[in-house]
Structure 1
Amino acid sequence: MELTDKQWEKVKDLIPIPQVRAVGKGRPWRDTRPVLEGILWILRTGAPWKDLPERFPPYQTCHRRFQQWQKAGVLQQIIAGLAKDLHERGDVDLSECFIDGTFCMAKKGGSCCGKTKKGKGTKIMAITDASGLVLSVSIHSASPHEVGLVEKVLDERFVEQLPEKLIGDKAYDSDPLDEKLKEKGIELIAPHRSNRKSKKTQDGRKLRRYKRRWKIERFFAWLFNYRRTVVRYEYKENNFLAFVLLASIIILLKAFFHL
């Protein structure tokens, strides 16, 4: 997978330049762009590192740089920079945001992995703005209920500002969560569960916003176009998160030049 020149120009300054080795020691560093494109090929195809085509730098180089970026938090810096730029140019709409989670089977287990009726896996949680731009993405054990993850997902957002309204499905119908978010200035909108016993808190007018939840479902559809995010093969949770962030970066880059 190759980046366009415009996409590369947008991210190149957000990627740190490798430190120059001592004179006469080691091989010169590979250029960053072909290394990044090699990593993106792995992300898109879901193939093992050893299957990286010869047109890219050696897979050892790409894998090593991927690990370095993951440990240094480079991918978080890139996606935060892109989200900030989009917000500053007025393309981020926080008037209504959408939250949801999706399950990924974890083939090798590892940390941040839990048991469910579907099997052992990891949950990807995300928040998008009113137009479907991703504002937060994180991974969690699949075992906890999504209601208990909302505040954590908000804390992982890429922009400083909070949503005005947060819209979710029936899984987010919770009076305690309503109160917690209200303290932050966020209005939660979610359909009531059929077995709800306490007084209803939603009316039909607000729930009309719920019909636009397809926007976050579309984000997950885009995310799963990158096969390395569909099934978790990474034992270490940070490596899997890095692939999820990298896919989100490409989705934001595409939006950046089409808005």
Structure 2
Amino acid sequence: MDGSCGGRLVRTGEKGGDGVGNTKCGKGTKVVDIVDSRGIPLAIHVTAANHDEVKLIEPTLDRLQIPNKVPEHLIHDRAADSDPLRQRLSEERGIELVCPHRKSRKKPPTQDGRACRRYRHRYVVERTHSWFHNFRRTVIRYETTLDRFAGWIHLASALITMRQL
């Protein structure tokens, strides 16, 4: 039902828009970021939430603004445990993927304990995610287009960068 309320157009309907995808918990948008050792965002990729995180790592690496500052190690959670991704990152980009293996992994492990010790620095990434949650517009998506939402995410990352420098 469409109507008018105080000069505003009112529409009833399902949540949707550009970059909204179905998940187990409903609909949403996924923000993938790369941060440095201090937690400053270096690259951000915003997409629908129904995409696999394994497929979003390489487009996020392509968005790095400083081409000569390629990370040596990429610390990620269990969602990135993929042997083809590890091989592509190491051969094409020279990046070692550091993430624990999934518990349901059938193949033999590819990392020893030395590489997984770097995983203890994952808190830096999670801390940056909590900094993003200090901005209400990045937690709840009010915008109907993906470009506007990405603009708010980039504004929040600029503010986070200014606070940390």
| TM-score, with structure 2 as normaliser | 0.87
Give 1:208 shift. Answer: 1.0
The answer on 1:251 being equivalent to 2:160 is yes
* 130-139 vs 240-249, which moves further: 130-139
8 A Cα contact 1:121 1:141, kept in partner? yes
Deviation of the 1:158 alpha carbon: 2.4
1:174 aligns with 2:77: no
1:189 partnered with 2:72: no
Q: Confirm or deny that 1:138 pairs with 2:48.
A: no
The answer as to whether partners of 1:173 and 1:192 remain within 8 angstroms in 2 is yes
Counting aligned pairs with the same residue, the percent is 46
| Contact 1:108–1:233 under 8 Å retained in 2 | no
Q: Give the aligned residue type for 2:115.
A: K
Unaligned 5+ segments in structure 1 are 1-106
CA drift at 1:162: 1.2
Instruction: Give the alignment's Cα RMSD to 1 decimal.
Output: 1.1
Whose Rg is larger? Answer: 1
Unaligned runs of at least 5 residues, structure 2: 1-13
Tell me the residue number matched to 2:7: none
> Matched residues in 2 for 1:218 and 1:121: separation?
21
Q: CA deviation at 1:254?
A: 1.0
- Secondary structure of the structure 1 residue equivalent to 2:30: strand
Residues in 2 aligned to 1:155 and 1:143: alpha-carbon distance in whole angstroms: 20
Shift of 1:111: 1.0
> Is the helix fraction higher in 1 or 2?
1
Post-superposition offset of 1:236: 0.7
Q: Which amino acid aligns with 2:108?
A: K
SS at match of 2:56: helix
Whole-angstrom distance in 2 between the partners of 1:122 and 1:109: 11
Q: Distance in 1 between the 2:16 and 2:65 partners?
A: 28
Tell me how many residue pairs correspond in the alignment. Answer: 150
1:121 to 13, 19, 28: 28
Q: Provide the rounded CA distance (Å) in 1 between the counterparts of 2:142 and 2:80.
A: 29
Tell me if 1:152 matches 2:74: no
CA drift at 1:243: 0.2
Alignment of 1:100-119 (within 5 A): 108-119=15-26
